[in-house]
Structure 1
Amino acid sequence: MKKGISIYPGLDNTPEENIALIQSAARLGITRIFTSLQIPETSKESFARQLQELLQLADKLDMDVISDISPASLELLGIEEFSLPRLYQKGLRTLRLDDGFTAAQIAKLSQNGMGISLQLNASVLNEGTLEKLQQQGCCLDRLEALHNFFPRENTGLSEAFTLTKTHLLQCHGIKTGAFVPSFARPRSPLKAGLPTLELHRETSFSFAIRHLAAMGMDCIFIADSLPAEQELSALAELDGSSIALQPEWLPELTPLEKELCSNVFTARPDEARDVLRTVESRHLTAELLKKQQNAAGQPASTAAIAPRQKPALPRPAGTITLDNQLYQRYQGELQITKTDLPPDRRINVLGHLPPLEQRLLKYITPGKKFRFI
């Protein structure tokens, strides 16, 4: 999974703030920068100079700049007509083509020999457009796609729509990305955040990036142009190889339970109706019990997880549980409930997933890896 920030020359940030942001992102291993050449509020006087500085610094730090461009952007660049050689001379290497390009034009641009990469607007592509691109000789495997972000409240995409579009594109071999807002300093002029999904205007930054990763995005950008250091670090540390869940733990967890829950788990291939089961948990628990008994100088045969909640606790949807010794050979099985289940003295409750976190459970399909943070 690739990760990126956004810079808007001539808008909110000072040139010094933009430089500091790019340098901080590069230090953290973030490799992409999104910029737009078609924001009406941009100061034309400072745009060209700041853009040139941005491109030079990005090239020095080996960062890829994705420039959102349309035929209307040419005035900002001081170019009379859309010309790849002229854009290349300006230092532009990856173009996100928005409005104003036909399938035939996109296909021709995709065949350039200058090393200019293309990105398409993932939010508006459909099967018909993709078929037209193929008919025109466009090499879809050389393209990427990037969803829009939406400055105005209530105009962001739904989760279902975004997922459908993303799967369509990925089925055609097109890697797809999306944006999350920053909650540190939202961008002008509306300052309401710049999410792809409307939902993310209302959530935490952590949930937004973990949600896009769970949805299978190939690239995640912070859309607002001055994120907090904590947001940059969270994005840099995001591991797309497993779905990350943030539970509310019960306060009395044992050292064994804490160590067990620090592992990465795999959802079992035989999907249960009522609970999410894990492949590794019983084996991991047995190893931890053995380690615990060896440290105490006791026989391994005495190792057991005792039932410790009297009376047993109910298990509403999103409850994280661990089977105790009363469940015999199932001792040590970690589960997450997908529906409301009654109390069971054979099962210890470890914690709960808040309702928002439960939205991620549907992405933990058989064979998928997940972890707790």
Structure 2
Amino acid sequence: MQNGISIYPGLDNTPDENLALIETAAAAGITRVFTSLHIPESDTHALKKEIGTLLGAARAHHMEVISDVSPKTLELLGLKEFRPSAFRMLGITTIRLDYGFSPEEIAQISHNSPKLRIQLNASTITRDLLHQLDACKTDFSRIDALHNFYPRVGTGLSEMTLIKQNALLHRLGIHVGAFVTTQGGRRRGPLGEGLPTLESHRTMTPERAARHLVALGTDSVFLADSLPTQAEIQSLGQLRDDCVTIGAELLTDDDASRRLLSHVFTSRVDEARDAIRAQESRSIIAKAHATIAPEAAEARPRGVVTIDNEQAGRYMGELEIVKKNLPADPRVNVCARIDRADFPLIACISPGRKFSFTFHSKN
């Protein structure tokens, strides 16, 4: 998964802090860097002084460098007209065309600048603009999209808006990224209230917010703030894009059950009314020649993860996420409890979709 960090030369980090952030992110497996060359609060002199060194460090780690570009950017760089070579010389490999470029210009860049990729604003793109780009013969294979972040409380996107915009872009094969905000490090100005894409993520840990974005069909995630903690960077580096990952409390001490719960599963396509059923779990237990011993029978409220024990016969190893309250059954062990904050992710596990768990131990 191609996730990213953000750096803002000339704003609120020192050059050394930005260089250290790039080093830490690269070591964590993060492959992209977002920056902006038209933030009003930036110190333009400092930005011009620092940008080359910072972007050079990112490229030395083979990181894709994405920059917002607008008419103000051309003025900042002293360019009278748009020249792809000028951005490449800085170390920028992808330009995010925020505003000020016509569909014809975007199409031309997609064909005439082979060493420069294009990124669209996923939050403001419209069906009409995509039709215009298509009519202009734009090479969509060289384009992806990235949502905005929103510094002011109350201005972030709704979940439904993000889903709608992602679907609009995915229909043309365009991958979509979005931002999460740090909770542990210094928050970037001007307001210091975080920089999430979704308003609901403003006070959420970036690890949980990132898992939510992936569950909603987002293809890459960026830490928007300028100085995230090392733990937040590590969590983003470990993020999976091929399944819905749900946080849960581990309730069982049984070794076979714990080993089973560490796998990635596929939700069965013949969707059950009462539970999400794992397609592979029974065969995993059978191939391991393992036995699931009975545990104390407990009621099965919505959100628990269960595994059928040996009393269930050939159903031993059946793993389910319970979708509605069910009574206790001596053939079924309650092995984990999904975190309340992750309950919305249950609905994202559609038939045929992969899912997995990230556990913390029971108290």
Counterpart of 1:80?
A: 80
Cα distance in 2 for residues equivalent to 1:347 and 1:281: 14
Task: Report the residue type matching 2:245 in the other structure.
Answer: A
Q: Matched residues, percent identical?
A: 45
CA drift of 1:115 comes to 1.4
Counterpart of 2:203?
A: 202
Cα distance in 1 for residues equivalent to 2:97 and 2:324: 44
1:349 matched to 2:327? The reply is no
**Contact 2:69-2:95 within 8 A present in 1 as well:** yes
Cα distance in 2 for residues equivalent to 1:174 and 1:41: 31
Counterpart of 2:350?
A: 365
Counterpart of 2:239?
A: 238
Counterpart of 1:93?
A: 93
What is the SS of the residue equivalent to 2:144? strand
Task: Report the residue type matching 1:227 in the other structure.
Answer: P
Task: Report the residue type matching 2:71 in the other structure.
Answer: P
The alignment's C-alpha RMSD in Å is 1.8
1:32 matched to 2:39? The reply is no
Counterpart of 2:19?
A: 19
1:313 maps to which of 279, 290, 298: 298
Cα distance in 1 for residues equivalent to 2:325 and 2:18: 49
Cα distance in 2 for residues equivalent to 1:117 and 1:362: 35
Counterpart of 1:188?
A: 189
Counterpart of 2:361?
A: none
Counterpart of 1:117?
A: 117
1:332 maps to which of 291, 294, 317: 317
**Contact 1:47-1:76 within 8 A present in 2 as well:** no
Superposed CA deviations along residues 221-280 of structure 1, whole A, max 9, x for unmatched, are: 111111111111111111222321111122x53222212211222211211121000112
Cα pair distance change 1:285/1:67, threshold 3 Å: same
**Contact 2:65-2:91 within 8 A present in 1 as well:** no
Task: Report the residue type matching 1:52 in the other structure.
Answer: G
Task: Report the residue type matching 1:189 in the other structure.
Answer: P
1:211 matched to 2:196? The reply is no
**Contact 2:84-2:113 within 8 A present in 1 as well:** no
Cα distance in 2 for residues equivalent to 1:11 and 1:34: 14
Task: Report the residue type matching 1:106 in the other structure.
Answer: I
Cα pair distance change 1:114/1:286, threshold 3 Å: closer
Task: Report the residue type matching 2:319 in the other structure.
Answer: L
Superposed CA deviations along residues 165-197 of structure 1, whole A, max 9, x for unmatched, are: 112111101111111111122111211111111
Cα pair distance change 1:340/1:79, threshold 3 Å: same
Counterpart of 1:66?
A: 66
Rg comparison, structure with higher value? 1
**Contact 1:305-1:332 within 8 A present in 2 as well:** no
Task: Report the residue type matching 1:187 in the other structure.
Answer: R
Cα distance in 1 for residues equivalent to 2:81 and 2:151: 29
Cα pair distance change 1:321/1:90, threshold 3 Å: closer
Superposed CA deviations along residues 48-70 of structure 1, whole A, max 9, x for unmatched, are: 11111122222222211101111
Cα distance in 2 for residues equivalent to 1:221 and 1:162: 15
CA drift of 1:354 comes to 2.1
Cα distance in 2 for residues equivalent to 1:94 and 1:280: 40
Paired residues in the alignment total 357
Matches within 5 A, 1:130-145: 130-145=130-145
Unaligned segments of structure 1, at least 5 residues: 292-302
1:55 matched to 2:49? The reply is no
**Contact 2:152-2:191 within 8 A present in 1 as well:** yes
Unaligned segments of structure 2, at least 5 residues: 359-363
What is the SS of the residue equivalent to 1:363? coil
